Amino acid sequence: MDATLTATIRAWRDADPDPETAAELDHLLASGDEAALLDRFRSELEFGTAGLRGLLGAGPNRMNRAVVRRATAGLARHLLETVPDAAPRGVVVARDARRGSDAFALEAAGVLAGHGLKVWFFDDRAATPLGAFALKELGAAAAVVVTASHNPPEYNGYKVYWENGAQIVPPVDAGIAAGIAKAGPARALPFLPREEAEAKGLLVPLGEELVRRYHDAIAALVLHPGEGRDLRIAYTAMHGVGARFTLAALARAGFANVRAVGAQNEPDGAFPTVRFPNPEEPGALDLALSLCEETKADLLLANDPDSDRLAAGARDSAGRMRLFSGNEIGVLLGAYCLSERTPRPARPLVVTTIVSSSQLGTIARNLGAACAETLTGFKWIENRALELERTEGATTVFGYEEALGYSVGDVVRDKDGISAALVFADLAGWCRARGVTPWDYLEELQRAHGLFLSAQRSVTIPGPAGASAIAAIMDGFRASPPSAIGGLAVVAMRDYRAGVPGLPKSNVVAYLLEGGSRVTLRPSGTEPKIKYYFELRETPQGAEPLAAAKGRGETRLAGLVADFVRLASERGQPA
């Protein structure tokens, strides 16, 4: 093994505050496992607008206590340099129930306190939206939430919010990354253990009072209190932290007939009943669907492990439990908040993304509201909403991205699966009081505002060659754009990397098709995947039943997807 690499590994091990990961490196050095060592040391986890996310383990290319210390030192340096009164305003620190989250949160708190910054520390594990809420509620300078959201159990992450309450965007991410680059070895960084920080007044525990304030705030989002509260609801926390918060919110709103999936109700970072704890993944909601049949539930609600996302299902008019897509939930919640909120804001605003359905934008415009589109991710949604509130006097009513992320109002400047679950239950109760189901309400919206059908495909290409393969696919579509997809002519191509007015540059390509349909492709920002998003607009013919138009549209959408997959294969996508 290269002597320089060996010296680098030994220096990292000597500075590692965690004896377990230090021992992991000793074992790899002793075994001569050069491939494993190169994987841990060929690069560092990149700090970007999503913060950090990676596999647990030793070395700079893994999530561990040493990496968290250095990341927090970079955050502390940038805060003290750029945010007035950052030290007394402090930083909120929260964490979920993943492996390592408790230790990482204490590491972050210790480094922040070591730099003289007050730490508002959640004593118990908390949902990610609670961290974002506390930042806004306490007027803190920033927040750190230790979470890897819905990733598999081998992952953890580190999410940063700025003083405006939203996730960081450029140039803040670059400023923090520059601070990390200047940080020394982990053991050499300023650090105060919790007891010492608390004794000096630099660590303030957060408990039930803050949680109560959150519940008070989201309770005000309910639009039809008392209606349809006899609904039977099945809920799953997906082994995460959501049960404590979501079940309390539903009970407070009067939903008494709620049953939780017992095997998934307690926080467990091993995720023993589901390999990939993402409600979007096939099979992830099997236990919840079984509970629906056992209890004859009218409504299914599911949070991901850190409770910032919501999946939902409901029985249709034939009595079948059916899951909504992320776009369908977004359209339902957005339309409900726009049409039923009273008093109506003077300048209502909804914000969505370039890969989410354009149906909500159509509904918003038809209802006299503004709709803004951003790049993918709630960091963009909320920062754009804040900008429009400041410059145009808008009132943000709703924001969403199709990957099950929703924000109702401005209680939390991030996606919030807890408040979204509460408002979706309220919507379902309102529908029940009107003698319809949420599926019927969706059909009402489609009849009034148009029929938009969507689909998504993700292709995982892991390993060192994966990034190159994904880049080649993107470059192939740029170099050789199709003239038609699925029999629909391409009327325009948008290359967001080259620049689209009003949006930051990003590695995204969209093809706008005749008739209002579109296809969008982009690499995932957190996983070794390339994602394809499809939307097809179908027009019912005369008095044609909507079901017939939908069936025809779904056939056309399947053809659109199949043709695009063929085009992707021609441009290098593995079979």
Catalytic residue list: 149
Tokens at 543, concatenated: 């008095």
Q: Which spans in 220-325 are helix H?
A: 242-252, 286-295
Residues 94, 116: Cα–Cα separation, whole Å: 19
Tokens 């502390």 correspond to what residue? 76
Three-state DSSP class for residue 511 = strand
In order, the DSSP letters of 65-106 are HHHHHHHHHHHHHHHHHHSTTHHHH-EEEEE-SSTTHHHHHH
Residues 320, 305: Cα–Cα separation, whole Å: 27
User: Contacts for 504-511 with beta carbons within 8 Å, 24 or more apart?
Assistant: 504/169, 504/170, 504/375, 504/380, 506/375, 506/376, 507/474, 508/354, 508/355, 508/375, 508/376, 509/474, 509/477, 509/478, 510/354, 511/481, 511/482, 511/485
- Residue 550 buriedness (CB in 10 A; 0-12 / 13-18 / 19+): middle
Residues 359, 328: Cα–Cα separation, whole Å: 9
Residues 509, 522: Cα–Cα separation, whole Å: 7
- Residue 7 buriedness (CB in 10 A; 0-12 / 13-18 / 19+): exposed
How many Cα atoms within 13 Å fall on the side-chain side of residue 79?
Answer: 31
Tokens at 511, concatenated: 């093809």
How many Cα atoms within 13 Å fall on the side-chain side of residue 486?
Answer: 23
Rg (the chain; Cα; Å)? 24
Residues 132, 162: Cα–Cα separation, whole Å: 9
Are 76 and 177 within 8 A, CB to CB? no
Label the pairing between strands 405-408 and 509-513. Answer: unpaired
The 10 Å Cβ neighbour count of residue 345 is: 14
Label the pairing between strands 405-408 and 395-401. Answer: antiparallel
Label the pairing between strands 119-122 and 203-206. Answer: parallel
Residues 465, 207: Cα–Cα separation, whole Å: 46
